[in-house]
A and B are shown apart, each in its own frame.
Chain A
Amino acid sequence: EAGVTQSPTHLIKTRGQQVTLRCSPISGHTSVYWYQQALGLGLQFLLWYDEGEERNRGNFPPRFSGRQFPNYSSELNVNALELEDSALYLCASSLGAGTEETQYFGPGTRLLVL
C-alpha cells in the first residue's frame, strides 16, 4: 500500500513569490494535516482538513491557506513568501477524525526562500 506522497520534494523561491505544495493521502484516509518543521522552531501544526472541510488551523497568518479535493488530496498555498517560511513542510493523513487515530507522514517538501 502506498504511503503519503508529497510533491515537489524540493523548491526554491524568492521573497514575495507564491508556492503550492501537494499531498496525496494513503488510500482510504479522509483526514489530511499540514505541519511546518522550521529550523529551531520544531514541528508546528498548520492546517487540518477532513471530508473536504477545514477543521482546525494553527497559529499562522492568513497567507497560509489550503484546500482538500473530493479525492481527499490536498494543497497548501503560501502567498507573499518570507525568508522565515523556509522549512520542511510535512503532510500527514489519518483514517478517521478521532484523536486516537495515527497520523501517517509523508517525506515532506523542503522549501527554501531566498
Chain B
Amino acid sequence: GNSVTQMEGPVTLSEEAFLTINCTYTATGYPSLFWYVQYPGEGLQLLLKATKADDKGSNKGFEATYRKETTSFHLEKGSVQVSDSAVYFCALTDNNAGNMLTFGGGTRLMVKP
C-alpha cells in the first residue's frame, strides 16, 4: 500500500532561519504530491503541489521538488516567520488508490521571534 513518512516534530526555529521538512513516500502507481498546512484550530490549507517527476511546487516562499529517484518531496523555505508556525502535512494521491489522500503524520513547526 501507499505510505508517507515525514520527520517528527516539533521543529523549533528562530525567525529568518532556513527550514527543511523531509518527506518520503511509497506508492504503487504514479502519485501526485501535496503539502498542506494546518494553523491552530483550523482545517487544512493547500500549500503547494506537484503532479509529475521533477516538478517544483512553490507558494508563499515555500518550495518542494518531486524527486522520483529518491521518492521524496522535501519542503523548504529560505527564511521563516513567526506566522509560519503551524503543522505541515505531506500527502499523496495515487491513481491506484481511488483519489484518497494518504497523509504523513504531520510536523509541527514553531518559529520564535
Contact = CB atoms under 8 A, between A and B. Distances in A.
23 contacts: A35-B101, A42-B103, A42-B104, A43-B89, A43-B101, A48-B98, A48-B99, A48-B100, A56-B98, A56-B99, A90-B44, A97-B99, A98-B99, A99-B32, A99-B99, A102-B34, A102-B46, A103-B101, A105-B36, A105-B43, A105-B44, A107-B42, A107-B43
A19 B43 CA distance: 20
B38 to A, nearest CB: 9
Given A99-B99, A103-B46, 13 more contacts: A33-B101, A48-B98, A48-B99, A48-B100, A56-B98, A98-B99, A99-B93, A100-B93, A101-B99, A102-B46, A102-B49, A107-B42, A108-B43
B58 interface: no
A64 interface: no
B71 interface: no
Contact of A90 (B34, B43, B93, B97): B43
B95 A43 contact: no
Contact of A99 (B95, B103, B105): B95
B24 interface: no
B83 to A, nearest CB: 19
Contacts, number: 59
Contacts of B31: 99
A16 B51 CA distance: 43
Interface in B36-57: 36, 42-46, 49, 51
Interface in A41-72: 42-43, 45, 48, 55-56, 58
A25 interface: no
Contact of A45 (B51, B89, B102, B104): B102
A58 B99 CA distance: 11
B43 A106 contact: yes
A58 B100 CA distance: 8
A33 B44 contact: no
